[in-house]
């Protein structure tokens, strides 16, 4: 039998050897990956699934970076309801690459959207930041208070970008709503968490692969302009769309969205030094998992699924093996521990408001 290139490939290159019969707890990360040290300052942003990465990094004793914190006397639960600690700064969920790029541009005074303040939803009398509509329950009391908070927020965002060592960004959606005036992209459709929807001022935009790669490339260039040594990890959220405005079935719309983001992430990781892709999407959505890591609604990821994602991440990035959900529990506590692992993880997710019955 003649020789050919496939004979020298590693086990991970073959479905029969690397996937078939391996069960749901699969490790699909092959090739080189970033090395994470205990002192590395790690910042996170992205869709609501990204909150799990922050939670595990803090729990595992790594240097998770939070540049924007609440006042010390504010109870932790209250601070979390106001968006503190969910990510490295108080920007809330960033679902699209365009949002991320525009956050950088707004923080550095390069972009000032025309429509940046909304009235709070009906029943609340305050004002909301159009780009962080859920971080202040009930809204801000005045425009002056909102603008002061935004200025403080931008200062902390700049501090984060300029001093982080590793930036983890979880791509969540291709669907978004933008201003027809200047292209500003909002985290949620106007009228859902504040503001008033106006088809003459607001337009639906379903980003294509080329647009996502262009936005990510522009962001990386901007970030490296203020922090040349920054390393970047891209992931794709496995959480399906809660609703679609594309006109397609929500399952088909989800497949397109995640496929486009996955393709873009691959291209960016291949084209930029110091940028890595981590397969959290594949761990949860891959055939070996057989939907085991989803709750009954087939959308929310369970604690067991998050634990598997972070186990693979820490194994490759830091050489740490996390115990399974019941491995370290006493015998009498194991059943309860396993039951808890099957519960889906509560995270702050703006887009869930699109279907308030969820």
| Mean of pLDDT values over 249-268 | 98
| Mean of pLDDT values over 340-345 | 51
Domain range enclosing 113: 33-355
Residue 207 CB contacts under 8 Å (≥ 6 apart), including other chains: 96, 97, 98, 174, 175, 176, 215, 260
Strands (E), 273-354: 275-277
> Chain-wide mean pLDDT for the chain?
89
Residues in the chain: 358
Q: Is residue 17 part of a domain?
A: no
* The pLDDT of residue 156 is above 50: yes
Q: Which tens digits make up the pLDDT trace of 67-100?
A: 999 877 788 888 888 888 889 999 999 999 999 9
Structure confidence at residue 162 as a pLDDT band (50, 70, 90): very high
Q: Is residue 239 part of a domain?
A: yes
Q: Is residue 166 part of a domain?
A: yes
Q: Tell me the whole-structure pTM to 2 decimals.
A: 0.89
Residue 227 CA to residue 234 CA, distance in Å, equals 17
Of the chain, the percentage scoring pLDDT greater than 90 comes to 68
Residue 233 CB contacts under 8 Å (≥ 6 apart), including other chains: 34, 166, 167, 168, 169, 275, 276, 277, 278
Q: Which tens digits make up the pLDDT trace of 138-154?
A: 899 999 999 999 999 99
Q: Is residue 8 part of a domain?
A: no
Task: Tell me what pLDDT residue 298 has.
Answer: 84
pLDDT: which is higher, 138 or 204: 204
CB 85 within 8 A of CB 66: yes
Q: Is residue 308 part of a domain?
A: yes
* The pLDDT of residue 175 is above 80: yes
**Residue 45, both tokens:** 């942003």
Task: Tell me what pLDDT residue 340 has.
Answer: 47
Q: Is residue 1 part of a domain?
A: no
Residue 305 CA to residue 108 CA, distance in Å, equals 37
Q: Which of 164-168, 197-201, 224-228, 295-299 has the lowest mean pLDDT?
A: 295-299
> How many domains is the chain partitioned into structurally?
1
Q: Is residue 19 part of a domain?
A: no
Q: Is residue 188 part of a domain?
A: yes
């Amino acid at each position: 039998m003649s020789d050919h290139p496939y004979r020298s490939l590693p086990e991970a290159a073959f479905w029969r050897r690397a996937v078939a019969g391996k069960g749901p707890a699969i490790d699909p990360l092959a090739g080189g990956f970033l090395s994470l040290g205990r002192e590395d300052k790690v910042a996170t942003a992205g869709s609501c699934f990204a909150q799990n990465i922050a939670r595990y990094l803090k729990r595992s004793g790594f240097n998770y970076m939070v540049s924007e914190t609440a006042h010390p006397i504010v109870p932790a639960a209250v601070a979390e309801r106001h968006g503190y600690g969910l990510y490295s700064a108080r920007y809330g969920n960033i679902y699209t690459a365009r949002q991320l790029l525009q956050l950088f541009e707004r923080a550095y005074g390069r972009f000032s959207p025309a429509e940046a303040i909304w009235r709070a939803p009906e029943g609340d009398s305050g004002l909301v930041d159009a780009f962080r509509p859920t971080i202040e329950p009930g809204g801000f009391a005045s425009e002056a208070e909102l603008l002061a908070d935004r200025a403080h927020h931008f200062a902390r965002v700049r501090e984060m970008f300029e001093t982080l060592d590793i930036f983890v960004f979880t791509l969540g959606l291709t669907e978004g709503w933008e201003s027809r005036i200047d292209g500003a992209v909002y985290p949620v459709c106007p009228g859902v968490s504040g503001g008033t929807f106006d088809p003459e001022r607001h337009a639906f935009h379903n980003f294509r692969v080329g647009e996502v790669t262009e936005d990510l490339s522009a962001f990386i260039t901007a970030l490296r302009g203020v922090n040349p040594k920054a390393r970047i990890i891209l992931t794709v959220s496995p959480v399906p769309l809660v609703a679609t405005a594309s006109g397609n079935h929500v399952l088909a719309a989800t497949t397109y969205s995640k496929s486009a983001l996955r393709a873009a992430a691959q291209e960016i990781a291949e084209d930029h030094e110091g940028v890595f892709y981590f397969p959290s999407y594949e761990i949860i959505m891959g055939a070996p998992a057989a939907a085991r890591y989803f709750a009954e609604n087939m959308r929310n990821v369970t604690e067991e699924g998050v634990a598997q994602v972070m186990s693979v991440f820490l194994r490759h990035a830091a050489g740490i093996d996390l115990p399974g959900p019941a491995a370290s529990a006493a015998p009498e506590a194991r059943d309860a521990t396993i039951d808890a692992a099957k519960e889906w993880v509560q995270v702050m997710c703006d887009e869930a408001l699109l279907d308030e019955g969820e």
